[in-house]
Chain A
């Protein structure tokens, strides 16, 4: 079986890769492209650790085939910071210690980015429901939510 050749954009840069049909976008990102920030937690769309953006839409990359990336624009956790300059969401996750083992953190940060792109001023309830598909087994969610709400305020220019 020959592999498919896929031309896409990853974190703003043109990219191409070869993959087999059954390889998920997560498999391709981690094992072919070498971007290991997105994590495989459940491989069934329940945990959100593999969250990426496709054309700005939040998805689980374990529920997308690599071949479906053709012509799309993919944003992973590696594309959130600007060089060495952390994104405000990343900075606030650090300041609020919104992680312990860190396995869920890339997914939570990508999902938070999608939330704040769509709704810069979410209520805490909206943020909790938006992030319901991102599971964390060590921090608990309160510090995550504090980081999200604080990051949103910073991004609105209300605090520094």
Chain B
């Protein structure tokens, strides 16, 4: 018979003690849309599941002086319904919304997507571009960790066994700031990214970029934060020359493998195409030119 236990603690301290005290593998449960599938496939054989959703702060969104704090386990459907967050971070909200079906949206979370540590995770490039900070809790208290320091390889994270993410912090936005995320899939819904690209920018009143963060998904063992792409955007308008250089920088940063979703050569080319298209959306949004969803 199984020896799998379940606990749904109502405080961070209780959850940390449970994780630290487990003699075998303990897994943190948010929405379970990856964890339950992986358990059924035999990839994990945990002895304990710690459901964090009853811990205050894990579910919900709040705004503090223009910054947003998103509970780590907040379902995609709840995030998408938040008008203020969608206005400030349309790219991040759309990226999370791209994960799975309506049914999956009822459960899937940013923390689950980040800690599942798939290089093709849709919300993760958008989190990187947003300069999101993960509030990690553990036996030594709380520490703020830039999201790009969480995944270390496919299925692996930098979190200790008795740590988990409580919430994400998104910085307040200067004027003329916005973001976008695009992924390429060979159909219109219910698929996994061949390549993903997240871009967040701030522009001056003339449309010149003053700050940028750019990321690529599914072209390396982890999602990549690509400083070379940001360096090309900053100081420039999004003209043909900048777009060409951005395309080249994205292709240079991409280090994909060939697999059933695409060859390395194809993914590299697509990384450049998506970088141009994503930048165009982010710049238009930052200047207030574009509204509505991109997909």
Which residues of A pack against B, CB within 8 Å?
1, 4, 20-22, 24, 43-46, 48, 51, 54, 57-60, 62-65, 67-68, 70, 111, 114-115, 129-134
Known A44-B40, A63-B37, A133-B190: A54·B106 in contact at CB below 8 Å: yes
Q: How many A-B residue pairs have CB under 8 A?
A: 90
Which B residues between 1 and 35 are near A, CB-CB below 8 angstroms? 1-6, 8, 29, 31-33
Known A45-B37, A57-B75: A130·B102 in contact at CB below 8 Å: yes
Cβ contacts under 8 Å, A70 to chain B: 8
Known A1-B3, A4-B6: A65·B101 in contact at CB below 8 Å: no
Known A1-B1, A57-B75, A129-B189: A65·B102 in contact at CB below 8 Å: no
Residue of B nearest to A107 (CB): B103
Task: Tell me, in angstroms, the Cα distance from A40 to B6 when the chains sit together.
Answer: 23
Asked whether, in the complex, the Cβ of A22 is within 8 Å of the Cβ of B4, the reply is yes
Contact of A64 among B1, B2, B32, B189 (CB under 8 A): B32
Known A45-B100, A111-B102: A1·B32 in contact at CB below 8 Å: no
Cβ contacts under 8 Å, B6 to chain A: 4, 21, 65, 67
Interface presence of B160 (CB below 8 A): no
Cβ contacts under 8 Å, A51 to chain B: 103
Task: Tell me, in angstroms, the Cα distance from A68 to B40 when the chains sit together.
Answer: 17
Cβ contacts under 8 Å, B32 to chain A: 63-65, 68
Contact of B2 among A1, A43, A67, A134 (CB under 8 A): A1
Residue of A nearest to B49 (CB): A21
Can you list 8 residue pairs at the A/B interface with Cβ under 8 Å? A21-B5, A22-B4, A43-B40, A58-B102, A59-B103, A64-B36, A65-B6, A132-B101
Known A1-B3, A67-B6: A132·B106 in contact at CB below 8 Å: no
Asked whether, in the complex, the Cβ of A60 is within 8 Å of the Cβ of B103, the reply is yes
CB distance from B163 to the nearest CB of A (A): 22
Which B residues between 45 and 98 are near A, CB-CB below 8 angstroms? 49, 51, 75, 77
Residue of A nearest to B29 (CB): A65
Cβ contacts under 8 Å, A115 to chain B: 102
Task: Tell me, in angstroms, the Cα distance from A27 to B158 when the chains sit together.
Answer: 34
Interface presence of B176 (CB below 8 A): no
CB distance from B31 to the nearest CB of A (A): 8
Asked whether, in the complex, the Cβ of B103 is within 8 Å of the Cβ of A45, the reply is yes
Cβ contacts under 8 Å, B100 to chain A: 45, 133
Interface size on B, residues (CB 8 A): 28
Cβ contacts under 8 Å, B75 to chain A: 57
Task: Tell me, in angstroms, the Cα distance from A44 to B103 when the chains sit together.
Answer: 12
Task: Tell me, in angstroms, the Cα distance from A111 to B101 when the chains sit together.
Answer: 11
Asked whether, in the complex, the Cβ of B103 is within 8 Å of the Cβ of A48, the reply is yes
Q: Which of B29, B107, B189, B190 has the most CB of A within 10 A?
A: B107
Task: Tell me, in angstroms, the Cα distance from A22 to B36 when the chains sit together.
Answer: 9
Known A20-B2, A57-B77, A65-B49: A132·B189 in contact at CB below 8 Å: yes
CB distance from A1 to the nearest CB of B (A): 5
Asked whether, in the complex, the Cβ of B8 is within 8 Å of the Cβ of A133, the reply is no
Task: Tell me, in angstroms, the Cα distance from A91 to B164 when the chains sit together.
Answer: 47
Cβ contacts under 8 Å, A130 to chain B: 102
CB distance from A66 to the nearest CB of B (A): 9
CB distance from A61 to the nearest CB of B (A): 9
Interface presence of B185 (CB below 8 A): no
Interface presence of B172 (CB below 8 A): no
Asked whether, in the complex, the Cβ of B4 is within 8 Å of the Cβ of A132, the reply is no
Known A63-B33, A132-B189: A58·B8 in contact at CB below 8 Å: no
Task: Tell me, in angstroms, the Cα distance from A70 to B77 when the chains sit together.
Answer: 21
- Mask, B165-188, CB within 8 Å of A = 1, is 000000000000000000000000
Task: Tell me, in angstroms, the Cα distance from A111 to B103 when the chains sit together.
Answer: 8
Task: Tell me, in angstroms, the Cα distance from A134 to B5 when the chains sit together.
Answer: 31
Cβ contacts under 8 Å, B77 to chain A: 57
Asked whether, in the complex, the Cβ of B40 is within 8 Å of the Cβ of A48, the reply is no
Task: Tell me, in angstroms, the Cα distance from A1 to B6 when the chains sit together.
Answer: 11
Contact of A21 among B2, B40, B189 (CB under 8 A): B2
Cβ contacts under 8 Å, A45 to chain B: 33, 36-37, 100-101, 103-104
